[in-house]
Amino acid sequence: MPTLHPLAQLAKDTIETHVRERRTIEPPRELSPETKGRAGTFVSIHKHGMLRGCIGTIEPTQANVAQEVIQNAISAATRDPRFPPIRPEELADLDIKVDVLGEPEPVESMEELDPKRYGVIVQSARDWRKGLLLPDLEGVDTVEYQVDIARRKAGIRPDEPIKLYRFEVVRYT
């Protein structure tokens, strides 16, 4: 079995401890350079290649990336409204990915997007509704499809005006 990056291992340990013992682990005492800063993160859980949970934060809500990953790992395992909470018997079949988001930057048009390189945030031009889609997702090969999915996640109709933002991620597996 391949060795997980420490951030992916942190998410895995968090999920396993929370599902088995209903407690939250502490972040490591010694923080690595990629866990010291603050950033939004997403934890994606797959089971047999199929999405099983994915929750994250666009902007940081915790003191550092390690704590952000711990909170989002618990949410992805237990609070993704698309799935029931993960059960202990599923733990051995899970693959965990952690995406650390770069700073979102506004874009003027869809020509500045690339679904393989950039994630997208679609925000209603009228209110607070916002949808996010991570980059380099299987089956998301066009900018139009990427933006459409993010619109639907936010409940923004195709005819509503939007603001677009793009961001890069560092993905840890």
Q: Would you state the structure tokens that stand for residue 97, as one six-digit string? A: 């990915």
pLDDT at 1 over 80: no
Delimit the domains of the chain by residue range. Answer: 6-101, 105-168
What is the separation of C-alpha 7 from the centre of its chain, rounded to a whole number of angstroms?
Answer: 13
| Class of domain 105-168 as given by CATH | alpha beta
pLDDT (tens digit, 9 = 90+) per residue, 20-63? 999 999 999 988 888 999 999 999 999 999 999 999 999 999 99
Q: Taken in order 166, 118, 70, 82, is the CA torsion positive or negative?
A: positive
Burial of 96 (0-12, 13-18, 19+ CB in 10 A): buried
Fold of 6-101: Glycoprotein, Type 4 Pilin (3.30.700)
pLDDT digits (tens, 9 = 90+) for 81-136: 999 999 999 999 999 999 999 999 999 999 999 999 999 999 999 999 999 999 99
